[in-house]
């Protein structure tokens, strides 16, 4: 590929490998003498388990073991972990954590709940044996409706209101005063519907246990292998972390979903029980039932305005459906980036009440953006509703309230400080690029063709991960090639290309000579994985530190080779030079020389290697404004996106190509939720009604028009590269922009709100219910 630089559009060098089928996913791993695991799942959403008889299953052909909750308790296998992030003002001692064990004991709490685990010589034998297990269930009334969970019968005996937490943030007294003094108070109820991640690669695990060493080798797609290694040792199997090696390999997507699950732990446990490798993989229907779902909350939002439309305060009450258990990252999708509900606007005060309640649905957790798209959706819908009710143009209302660029750094009412950004510029660029001034003419053209045209816009600023540590090792080989070992984990974002690009830019090395290793806990000392748009900030800066360390060590070798003082050695464009002279030596020659102890300081190890630990001390705030136009066919209710512009500020762009890919991917997932994606449960039985892709719709390429992406960078000073998170801003902007556009198209029918997804049936039904036949 050659030598490349930060900011270029660099094709992902891993793509040809994957497209030719030469990648190594967990499903590609084949171990000698392996066996197959299968999970028996509850057919009931809520039921008491009165007894389990595994006699016939254990005697079935090929069966090696059958594990139940009683075996789990006998072996002292711990429950799934619960991570409590440091959220200011949150008293974690008040949270009721419904822990999830790897097998049910007395209660089945969701359709698909793990009841028993069968290991056999073949998958067919394991499946057949599972059907022989007799479980005595006493079905109970299920609860799945998010809005009524507080009033439902208790899901857990010691929690009569079904609440896991009831948290308050902001200044309640000041907010109440602001609302009391307001000229206008706008109230709006909305839902952020439940969705499924639907990764290309289903969850799976291959586990191998070595009885001689007492060590497991695990192949599984997970976002945080180093954290998983520690939890498996300390909380679940009560052994030493060194007894686990986790290899993630290539991964077919995650979006926040691939973390801790019961089935992986069952497979790890079973490998030791049977003394042979065990393979397990979810089928798609199982994944739709049991993968961690996203979103799912019912929200009452209020906005206080003065007579001129200036925002005085915002008040939000949110009730999240947590599902049957408190997920491993159970706070992230309810509490993360609450600043998004104030967003880019000069709102003096706010108060948020955040509740989480248990149900008989699959657990919810982080899903692309966690709580960021939800918060942005709440505020941007509220602003459109306020504009309609108060009688101020919605663009003008935003202009009156947007935080000006010269106010940076700007302290928000929750204490967060935006360090940089020009939110007004984002919006004006989006309006210009989409030709907002010509919108009414295009609306009339659509009307002449029997279609309804609508315009939608949404601003966003969010808090992305930037605090903590990340680790990268640069290791040169004698032939001058470079191996980069990172503590992050690749799920398809293009990390290998990013790391190679950074090294090529800094060291002047051809990317063809660079190999990147991620997701192997034996290859690196530590790592914090991938999530929260952290890699472009944390991993990139760790890589820069490693490169700087290589240069400094290389100067010592170059000084010996060039017979000059180290202080006189300079590095640039892949070569070391003696300052003020034409004497130089290439990096490749320095690498070769570094393996000769004569060229090294006393006691130094041969070769050039640097282990870097980057500590981020402040979050960063990616932001953007997306604008779209849609056409709605009133005869069918079908909506089509016909124009779309995305203006984004992610600070320093490392790879322009993958930056565009991240924005497009976020738009795709957000549009799917806005227009078609929805996890649905039968309200009477709690059975999943969207258990296959025949029932759960997702967008295709044909559902989109050309999307114009505009980069409006304002590099942050919170990290050396000036980069901000890029993975979630597209999703956060697109969801409200698309919904606002469709509802604007429906305005002639008096339709002011519809809850997502805005399917053709829902839109058509609203048109019919309006009673207006000709608009």
- Record the tokens describing residue 478, joined without a space: 């004698």
Which pLDDT value is given to residue 396? 98
186 falls in which pLDDT band (50, 70, 90)?
A: very high
Q: What is the pLDDT at residue 390?
A: 97
Cα 325 versus chain centre, distance: 20
Q: What is the pLDDT of residue 89?
A: 73
Distance, in Å, from the CA atom of 692 to the CA atom of 287, rounded to the nearest integer, reads 9
Instruction: List Cβ neighbours of 22 (8 Å cut-off, separation of 6 or more).
Output: none
Q: Are strands 163-170 and 349-358 parallel, antiparallel or unpaired?
A: antiparallel
Alpha-carbon distance values, 655 to 299, 305, 624, 714 (Å): 37, 42, 18, 16
- Angle at CA of residue 730, ends 724 and 732, nearest 5°: 95
The set of residues, in sequence order, having a beta carbon less than 8 Å from that of 438 and lying 6+ positions away, is: none
CA Rg value for the chain: 28
Q: What is the pLDDT of residue 84?
A: 76
Alpha helices by DSSP H, listed for 103-171, are 123-130
| pLDDT given at position 350 | 97
Average pLDDT in the 558-581 region? 92
Closest-CA residue to 368 (of 15, 116, 673, 22): 673
Name the band, by pLDDT with cuts 50, 70 and 90, for residue 719.
very high
378 band by pLDDT with thresholds 50, 70 and 90: very high
The closest of 356, 45, 364, 326 to 196, measured between CA atoms, is: 364
Q: What is the pLDDT of residues 740-774, one digit of tens each?
A: 999 999 999 999 999 999 999 999 999 999 988 77
Burial class, 703, CB count within 10 angstroms (exposed 0-12 / middle 13-18 / buried 19+): middle
Helix (H) / strand (E) element for 173: namely helix 172-181
pLDDT digits (tens, 9 = 90+) for 54-99: 999 999 999 999 999 999 999 999 999 987 777 777 788 889 999 9
DSSP structural state of residue 728: S
pLDDT of residue 83: 79
pLDDT by residue (tens digit) across 630-679? Answer: 999 999 999 999 999 999 999 999 999 999 999 999 999 999 999 999 99
Is the pLDDT at 690 greater than 90? The verdict is: yes
* pLDDT tens-place string over residues 474-514: 999 999 999 999 999 998 889 999 999 999 999 999 999 99
Judged by DSSP in three states, 632 sits in strand
d(CA 432, CA 403): 19
As a whole number, the mean pLDDT across the chain is 95
φ and ψ at residue 417, rounded to 5 degrees: -115, 115
Position 382 scores a pLDDT of: 98
Token code pair at residue 418: 């935006």
Exposure letters 619-652 (e unless 16+ CB within 10 A, then b): bbbbbbbbbbbbbbbbeebbbebbbbbbbbbbbb
Residue 598: pLDDT above 90? no
H helix runs in 361-507, sequence order: 372-390, 394-401, 423-433, 439-448, 495-507
Preceding omega of 612 cis (within 30 degrees of 0): no
pLDDT at residue 588 in the model: 94
Label residue 727 exposed, middle or buried (CB < 10 Å: 0-12, 13-18, 19+).
buried
Tell me the DSSP string of 437-478: GGHHHHHHHHHHTT-EEEEEEEEEE--B--EEEEEEEEEE-T
Task: Classify strands 639-649 and 707-711 as parallel, antiparallel or unpaired.
Answer: parallel
CB count, 10 Å around CB of 657? 14
> In whole angstroms, what is the distance from residue 26 CA to residue 247 CA?
9
pLDDT of residue 602 exceeding 80, the answer is no
pLDDT of residue 442: 98
* Contacts of residue 200, Cβ cutoff 8 Å, sequence gap at least 6: 252, 253
Q: Mapping DSSP to helix (H, G, I), strand (E, B) and coil, where does residue 33 land?
A: coil
Task: Report the candidate in 467, 485, 496 with the shortest Cα–Cα distance to residue 658.
Answer: 496
Phi/psi for 366 (5° steps) reads: -60, 135
What CA–CA distance (Å, rounded) separates 366 from 727? 13
Q: Residue 330 — very low, low, confident or very high, per pLDDT cuts 50/70/90?
A: confident
Looking at per-residue confidence, does 468 or 172 come out higher? 172
Phi, psi of 89 (to 5 degrees): 85, -5
Picking from 323, 383, 300, the residue whose alpha carbon sits closest to that of residue 679 is 323
Q: What letter would DSSP give residue 746?
A: T
SS3 537: helix
pLDDT of 541 higher than 80:
yes
DSSP-based three-state secondary structure for 174: helix
The residue-averaged pLDDT of 232-248 equals 96
- What's residue 36's pLDDT? 98
Beta strand segments in 26-126, E: 35-41, 47-53, 63-68, 107-108, 114-120
pLDDT at 775 over 80: no
- φ, ψ for residue 78 (rounded to 5)? -75, 165
Distance between CA 495 and CA 725 in Å, rounded?
Answer: 13
What is residue 530's predicted lDDT score, i.e. its pLDDT? 86
Strands 584-586 and 575-578: antiparallel
Q: What percent of the chain has pLDDT over 70?
A: 100
User: What confidence tier does 522 reach under pLDDT thresholds 50, 70, 90?
Assistant: very high
81 forms bridges with which residues in the sheet?
Answer: none
Q: Residue 123: name the closest of 291, 290, 287, 278 by CA.
A: 278
pLDDT of residue 323: 97
For CA atoms 744, 748, 754, 760, the dihedral sign is: negative
Burial of 234 (0-12, 13-18, 19+ CB in 10 A): middle
- Please tell me the predicted confidence (pLDDT) of residue 339: 86
Determine whether 173 is exposed, middle or buried from the number of CB atoms within 10 Å of its CB (0-12, 13-18, 19+).
Answer: exposed
DSSP string computed for 549-561: HHHHHHHHHHHHH
Is-contact 486 516, C-beta < 8 A? yes
Count the alpha carbons within 13 Å of 378 in the hemisphere toward its beta carbon: 32
- Peptide bond between residue 757 and the one before it cis (omega within 30 degrees of 0): yes
Confidence band (pLDDT; 50, 70, 90) for 336?
A: confident
Tell me which DSSP letter residue 533 carries.
Answer: S
3-state secondary structure of 134: strand
Closest CA to 330 of 338, 339, 321: 321
- Tokens in use for 474? 């640069």
**pLDDT tens readout for residues 603-614:** 788 999 999 999
């Amino acid at each position: 590929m050659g030598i490349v630089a930060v900011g270029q559009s660099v094709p992902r060098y891993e793509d040809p490998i994957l497209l030719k089928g030469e990648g190594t996913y967990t499903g590609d791993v084949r171990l000698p003498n392996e066996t197959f695991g299968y999970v028996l799942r509850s057919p009931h959403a809520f039921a008491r388990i009165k007894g389990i008889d595994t006699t016939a299953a254990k005697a079935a052909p090929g069966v090696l073991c059958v594990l139940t909750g009683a075996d789990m308790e006998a072996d002292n296998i711990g429950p799934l972990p619960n991570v409590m992030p440091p959220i200011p003002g949150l008293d974690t001692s008040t949270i009721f954590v419904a822990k999830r064990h790897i097998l049910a004991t007395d209660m089945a709490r969701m359709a698909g709940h793990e009841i028993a685990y069968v290991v056999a010589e073949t998958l067919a034998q394991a499946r057949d044996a599972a059907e022989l297990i007799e479980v005595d269930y006493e079905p109970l009334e299920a609860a799945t409706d998010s809005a009524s969970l507080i009033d439902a019968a208790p899901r857990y005996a010691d929690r009569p209101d079904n609440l896991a937490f009831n948290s308050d943030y902001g200044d309640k007294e000041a907010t109440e005063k602001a609302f009391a003094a307001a000229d206008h108070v706008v109230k709006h109820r909305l839902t952020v519907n439940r969705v499924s991640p639907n990764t290309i690669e289903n969850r799976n695990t291959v586990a191998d246990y070595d009885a001689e060493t007492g060590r497991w080798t695990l192949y599984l797609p997970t976002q945080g292998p180093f954290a998983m290694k520690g939890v498996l040792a300390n909380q679940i199997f009560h052994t030493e972390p060194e007894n686990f090696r986790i290899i993630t390999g290539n991964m077919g997507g995650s979006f926040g979903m691939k973390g801790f699950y019961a089935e992986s732990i069952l497979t790890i446990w079973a490998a030791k029980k049977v003394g042979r490798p065990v393979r397990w993989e979810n089928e798609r229907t199982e994944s739709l039932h049991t993968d961690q779902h996203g979103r799912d909350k019912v929200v009452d939002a209020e906005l206080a305005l003065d007579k001129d439309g200036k925002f005085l305060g915002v008040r939000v009450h949110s009730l999240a459906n947590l599902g049957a258990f408190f997920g491993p990252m159970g706070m992230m999708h309810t509490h993360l980036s609450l600043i998004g509900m104030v967003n880019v606007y000069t709102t003096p005060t706010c108060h948020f009440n955040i509740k989480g309640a248990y149900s008989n649905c699959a657990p919810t957790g982080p899903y692309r953006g966690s709580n960021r798209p939800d918060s942005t959706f709440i505020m941007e819908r509220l602003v459109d509703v306020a504009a309609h009710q108060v009688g101020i143009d919605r663009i003008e209302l935003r202009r009156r309230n947007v935080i000006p660029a010269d106010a940076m750094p700007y302290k928000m009412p929750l204490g967060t400080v935006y360090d940089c950004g020009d939110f007004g510029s984002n919006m004006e660029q989006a309006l210009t690029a989409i030709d907002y001034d010509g919108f009414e003419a295009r609306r009339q053209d659509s009307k002449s063709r029997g279609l309804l045209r609508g315009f939608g816009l949404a601003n966003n600023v969010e808090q992305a991960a930037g605090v903590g540590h990340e680790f990268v090792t640069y290791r040169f080989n004698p032939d001058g090639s470079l191996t980069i070992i990172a503590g992050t984990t690749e799920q398809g974002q293009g990390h290998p290309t990013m790391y190679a690009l950074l090294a090529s830019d800094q060291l002047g090395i051809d990317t063809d000579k660079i190999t990147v290793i991620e997701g192997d806990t034996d290859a690196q000392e530590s790592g914090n994985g991938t999530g929260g748009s952290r890699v472009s900030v944390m991993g990139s800066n760790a890589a820069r530190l490693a490169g700087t360390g290589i240069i400094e060590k290389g100067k010592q070798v170059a000084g010996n080779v060039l017979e000059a003082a180290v202080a006189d050695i300079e590095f640039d464009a892949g070569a070391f030079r003696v300052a003020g002279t034409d004497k130089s030596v290439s990096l490749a020659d320095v690498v070769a020389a570094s393996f000769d102890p004569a060229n090294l300081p006393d006691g130094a190890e041969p070769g050039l290697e640097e282990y870097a630990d980057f500590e981020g001390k402040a979050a960063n705030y990616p932001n953007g404004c997306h604008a779209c136009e849609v056409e709605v066919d009133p005869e069918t209710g079908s909506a089509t996106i016909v124009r779309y512009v995305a203006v984004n500020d992610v600070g320093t762009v490392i790879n322009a190509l993958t930056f565009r890919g991240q924005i497009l991917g976020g738009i795709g997932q957000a549009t799917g939720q806005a227009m078609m994606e929805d996890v649905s449960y039968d309200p009477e039985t709690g059975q999943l009604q969207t258990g296959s892709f025949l029932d759960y719709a997702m967008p295709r390429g044909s559902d989109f028009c050309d999307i114009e992406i505009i980069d409006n960078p304002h590099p942050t000073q919170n990290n050396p590269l000036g980069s901000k998170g890029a993975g979630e801003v597209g999703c956060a902007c697109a969801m409200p922009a698309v919904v606002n556009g469709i509802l604007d198209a429906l305005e002639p029918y008096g339709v002011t709100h519809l809850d997502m997804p805005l399917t053709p049936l829902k839109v058509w039904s609203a048109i019919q219910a309006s009673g207006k036949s000709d608009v």
